[in-house]
């Protein structure tokens, strides 16, 4: 059975590829520095590295949707905003 029914495009392939790479990267990070670096951040939540990645990905999805709804279809600057958001989440949350 081929995968043609899944209707892949290189864009969505790249999207899932990046997520897979992120997960592999997080696993390697965990092997190098086990325990997930738990801490209590600015939100008053106890988070580990994995939680911070989840918050980053979910938040990024919402940032992109809000950008589409308010500012239109070119998402270049939304991606920059997501990266800034990711840095802030991994630094302070």
Partner 1 sequence: MQKTLNNKAWFMVLPVLLIVALNAVVPLMTVVNYSVQDTFGNNVFFFEGTRWFSEVMASERFHGALMRQLFFTGTILAIEIPLGVAIALAMPRSGFWASVCLVLMALPLLIPWNVVGAMWNIYALPDIGLLGFGLNWLGIPYDFTQQPVSAWFTVILMDVWHWTSLVVLLAYAGLQSIDDNYYRAAQIDGASRWAVFRYIQLPKMKHVLTIAVLLRFMDSFMIYTEPFVLTGGGPGNTTTVLSIDLVKAALGEFNLGVASAMSIIYFLMTLLVCWLFYTITMQGEQK
Decide if residue 34 touches partner 1 (CB under 8 A): no
Of residues 6 and 32, the one with the C-beta less far from partner 1: 6
- The region of 2-10, 24-32, 83-91 touching partner 1 under the rule CB under 8 A is 2-10
Instruction: Give the angle subtended at the CA of 91 by the CAs of 41 and 70, to the nearest 5°.
Output: 95
Residues 39-68 that bind partner 1 (CB under 8 A): 45-46, 54, 58, 61-62, 65, 68
Give one DSSP letter per residue of 61-84, joined into a string: HHHHHHHHHHH-S--HHHHHHHHH
Residues in the site for partner 1, rule: CB under 8 A? 4-9, 11-12, 15-16, 45-46, 54, 58, 61-62, 65, 68-69, 72-73, 75
């Amino acid at each position: 059975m081929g995968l043609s029914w899944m209707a892949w495009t290189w864009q969505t392939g790249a999207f899932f590829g990046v997520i897979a790479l992120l997960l592999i990267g997080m696993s390697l990070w965990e092997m190098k520095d086990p325990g997930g670096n738990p801490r209590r951040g600015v939100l008053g939540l106890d988070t580990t590295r994995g939680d911070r990645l989840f918050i980053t990905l979910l938040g990024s999805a919402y940032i992109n949707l809000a950008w589409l709804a308010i500012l239109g279809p070119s998402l270049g600057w939304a991606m920059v905003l997501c990266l800034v958001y990711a840095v802030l989440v991994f630094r302070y949350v």
